[in-house]
Structure 1
Amino acid sequence: MGVRAARLILAACGLMALALPAQAQVAREVFGGLSQPAGATRDAIGTYAKGCLAGGVQMPADGPHWQDVRRSRNKSWGHPNTIAFLQRFSQAAAGNDNWRGLLLGDISQPRGGPAVGHASHQIGLDADVYLTEMPARRLTEEERETMDMPSLLRRSALTVDEAKWRPEHLRLIRRAALDREVDRIFVHPGIKKKLCETAGGDRSWLRKVRPTYGHDYHFHVRLSCPAGTSCEKQSPVPASEGCDASLQWWFDVALQPPPPDAPPYKPKPPMQLSELPRACVALARAPAGSAPALAQAGAAPALPPAATGFLPQSVPLPSPRPLP
């Protein structure tokens, strides 16, 4: 199925979902079926795991040091700060960390909200970055959808495979963690353990790197709430670098199979549209394209051919620069 056909199906599903009574609407089905952004202002609304995105901006498919993959999911939308960060980060990693470019995964849906496959990624401030380096050529549309993103862990183990680990992996994650806009980075505990073992002298950035389930083939970057938005801040990360008993707990307890007598896992019921902030319910019902035009939002002038391909911190709007 092509990208266009997939998006038409998503849009049709969204229209069907919006026709249902509010109490019967599953939030991920509603927001997953909305193919275009909306909102009179650019805003991250609610929490990272219960919110939405107004005035979303789409990450360009290609740039000098990034390629966006899994594009048919239509989850390449974010707050302008996120789009600007990814472009800035990709250039810095290429110029300083021997990392040719980023392969980018999910950010958010056009209007954010709950999405299949994610608990967060709802307000345009979360982004997945694969731990596979961008190739030196542009991927085909089919490759973007099917390219294998290998785990960095040893087969059937919880620790990093030394044959797959590169010093550049540490440098890449450290660079993201040192960015002042980044609030947290999520990785598999095995990757966190490897970072703790190889971080060297400056270890202050490790406190931002949090262990979690999965995330053995990509890392998840979460930006702090931008000033002036409706985003609800998280509690500050602990002062500890997190290389202590709190990390060992993941290996001893959290990642171990449940005991034979453990009750079966019962997933939570899906979040209903009515459980989201009222502004998100209104956003889901808003007409598409009601976000301000880029020119009205202070868009940067077109970059000259010799431009670096990323945007300065003060102008958080995307700048597509396809590969040659």
Structure 2
Amino acid sequence: MPAKRLTRIGLAALLCAATALEMMSASDALADQPAKQAFGSQKLPAVAKPESVGFYSKGCLAGGVAIPVDGPNWQVMRLSRNRRWGHPRMIALLERLSREAAQDGWTGLLVGDISQPRGGPMLTGHASHQIGLDADIWLTPMPNRRLTAEERENTSAVSMLRKDSLYVDPDIWTPAHAALLKRAANYPEVERIFVHPGIKKKLCDTVTGDRGWMAKVRPYWGHHYHFHVRISCQPGSPGCKPQEPINRNDDGCGKSLAWWFTDEPWKPAKPVKPTKPPKPKKPMMLSDLPPACARILNEPAPTSIADVTFGLGRNATAAATAPNGVQEAIPAAPAVPAAAFAAPTPPASIPLPVPRPRN
């Protein structure tokens, strides 16, 4: 082979190797970013097919869409957080719930946090809400006027509890609250609904007739101002990791609920005197997330938010249904054992999501 050709081949090989090293270095630098900064800085979603990647508290979202700030039966709160993004099926469910809840005497939904544009860990607040399948709904009914931007930032939701108590205030709680939770829990795609233990107890003490839906309603810290809806992994998301299934034959009103009304869940952790200065807690890095999240972080963004805001449920509903209008079957996926994630300290017999939310 001529020497000149060998030289050209050698140069090409060197260039390829240099390019590969450059790409690896860029990838390594990206992977070293704290995940919450990487995802919290994204203003728009990844232009891609809808896909939830990873677990609810350790993952990301491609092809997210934004629920409109205002709809006929909802208003979005805390707009400055930019957390009104979700999987199209999550957005469709919220819009459907806002419409159908009117049958129960509910005036409309005040929608809290869903997810960031590309999901992932948040700069502040939730440990979950990372894959576009979680949403917070205030337990305060929507007023009969449009709230200003300032009101959406500063208005506080109303706690359902009596002051300094674990129990629901009967002057605040209404049958419409229970009806709203029942309607949401009866949607097949809803996996869990998290509420304060006092709200769960109120349901246990008052719901008559069909109680099968109550298995989905789970007591958890916080959640006395809002309830948290979580839907299952959706078609087209093979990398989505579901929670272990719940026992649908147990309404959750027995021993597992009684534990919440003991001192154990609420007592502060005993301080441990360190033998040496503790190391600062390492933040979750991008490299700790599923590998696909680095790709999603680098996907192009739409040209404007209008391209990814679904108007009044029309496109969101279409994206969440099969061509014949029937919801697609949700494929089975391997469950993630609870032991794989950092869990709180209650006994194993207490059914809990993981990990414990910070807000």
TM-score tier (shorter): 0.7 to 0.9
The CA distance in 2 between the partners of 1:107 and 1:246, in whole Å, is: 28
Match of 1:119, as an amino acid?
A: A
Query: What SS does the aligned partner of 1:103 have?
Result: strand
- How far did 1:282 drift? 1.6
| Corresponding residue number in structure 2 for 1:255 | 265
The higher radius of gyration belongs to: 2
Counting only pairs closer than 5 Å after superposition, residues 289-308 of structure 1 correspond to structure 2 as: 289=302
Match of 1:111, as an amino acid?
A: R
Over aligned residues, Cα RMSD in angstroms? 2.7
Match of 2:301, as an amino acid?
A: A
Query: What SS does the aligned partner of 1:315 have?
Result: helix
Counting only pairs closer than 5 Å after superposition, residues 1-324 of structure 1 correspond to structure 2 as: 21-22=29-30, 24-94=32-102, 96-115=103-122, 116-229=124-237, 230-239=239-248, 240-258=250-268, 261-263=270-272, 269-289=282-302, 309-311=312-314, 315-316=318-319
Match of 1:282, as an amino acid?
A: R
- How far did 1:162 drift? 1.1
- How far did 1:227 drift? 1.7
The CA distance in 2 between the partners of 1:143 and 1:183, in whole Å, is: 32
The CA distance in 1 between the partners of 2:264 and 2:65, in whole Å, is: 37
1:125-149 C-alpha deviation (Å, 9 max, x unpaired): 1000000000000001111111111
**In structure 2, do the counterparts of structure 1 residues 310 and 110 end up closer, same or farther at CA, with 3 Å as the change threshold?**
closer
Count of aligned residue pairs for this structure pair: 287
- How far did 1:231 drift? 1.4
Checking the alignment, whether the CA contact within 8 Å between 2:88 and 2:316 is kept in structure 1 is no
Match of 2:295, as an amino acid?
A: A
The CA distance in 1 between the partners of 2:186 and 2:315, in whole Å, is: 17
Task: Indicate the larger mover: 23-32 or 61-70.
Answer: 23-32
Identity %, equivalent residues? 52
Checking the alignment, whether the CA contact within 8 Å between 1:59 and 1:76 is kept in structure 2 is yes
Match of 1:275, as an amino acid?
A: D
The CA distance in 2 between the partners of 1:38 and 1:30, in whole Å, is: 13
The CA distance in 1 between the partners of 2:28 and 2:110, in whole Å, is: 38
Match of 1:109, as an amino acid?
A: Q
Checking the alignment, whether the CA contact within 8 Å between 1:87 and 1:311 is kept in structure 2 is no
Match of 1:172, as an amino acid?
A: L
Match of 2:242, as an amino acid?
A: K
- How far did 1:254 drift? 4.1
- Structure 2: which 5+ runs fail to align? 1-25, 321-359
Runs (4+) of structure 1 exceeding 6 A deviation are: 264-267
The CA distance in 2 between the partners of 1:61 and 1:86, in whole Å, is: 13
